[in-house]
Amino acid sequence: MRSVGRNTLTAMALAVLESLHECPRHPYEIHQLMQEREVWRMVKVTPGSLYHTIERLARDGLIEVVETSRAGRRPERTIYRMTEAGQDAFAERLRAMIGEPATEYPQYPVAVGMLHELQRDDALTQLKRRTIALEAQLAADHVVEKRLTENGVHPLYWADVELRRRQRETELDFTRDLIDRITTKRVTWPNREQHSEKQTEQHS
């Protein structure tokens, strides 16, 4: 069995292991379960990526074949289960992802830090565009939450939806407040020429 590092398990690999953590399944059943639980919210799910991930997990000794069967002219069905090594690797990676905040690099904070490079009116226009997009995304999140609740899906299977919604709400509040501060001139726009002259003086 290959040595599996903590960062080797991709989001798709974790989703496959989660489905096999409950009981042995063949790839089609895994795919159906992912669709039912809307795993596509967290990872792009395609038949190709799913089968590739299953092959890699089997090669690494994290899952294994239980049986292979064929019914009539249908393609062979290979049923997989998680190995003990897979259970250990899955639990270790999950604990690390939950318990250890990762340093991530989302685009918006980077752009906000460079906002002053745009003209004031242009910056305000883009910030307002973002608020409209966030409002639409939040409306979609509420629809998803309502549907999952009505379908009786256990809340822990879609806790990520709630987390994402709350993050968007925070981002929307921040963006609206930033627009207000710029509009009311509580935050003034830097003068590029004066800034350049000051920088020149400091280095002369």
Both 154 and 172 in one domain: the answer is yes
Both 119 and 84 in one domain: the answer is no
Number of domains making up the chain: 2
* 3-state SS record for 9-76: CCHHHHHHHHHHHHCCECHHHHHHHHHHCCHHHCCCCCHHHHHHHHHHHHHCCCEEEEEEECCCCCCC
Spell 28-37 as b/e; 16+ CB within 10 A means b. Answer: ebbbebbeeb
Residue 81 included in any domain: yes
Distance CA 141, CA 162 (A): 8
Residue 121: other Cβ atoms inside 10 A: 10
Both 123 and 79 in one domain: the answer is no
- Span 76-96, pLDDT tens digits: 789 999 999 999 999 999 999
Give the CATH number, domain containing residue 69.
Answer: 1.10.10.10
Domain that holds residue 91: 11-99
Which three-class secondary structure state does DSSP give residue 171?
helix
Both 80 and 113 in one domain: the answer is no
Which three-class secondary structure state does DSSP give residue 81?
strand
Residue 195 included in any domain: yes
The predicted model scores a pTM of: 0.71
Distance CA 138, CA 129 (A): 14
The separation between CA 101 and the C-alpha centre of its own chain, rounded to angstroms, equals: 14
Distance CA 113, CA 203 (A): 23
Both 44 and 116 in one domain: the answer is no
Both 76 and 123 in one domain: the answer is no
User: pLDDT (tens digit, 0 to 9) for every residue of the chain, 204 residues total?
Assistant: 454 554 568 889 999 999 999 899 999 999 988 888 778 777 888 888 899 999 999 999 999 999 887 666 666 789 999 999 999 999 999 999 999 988 888 899 999 999 999 999 999 999 999 999 999 999 999 998 998 899 898 898 889 889 999 999 999 999 999 999 999 999 999 986 555 555 545 555
Both 138 and 187 in one domain: the answer is yes
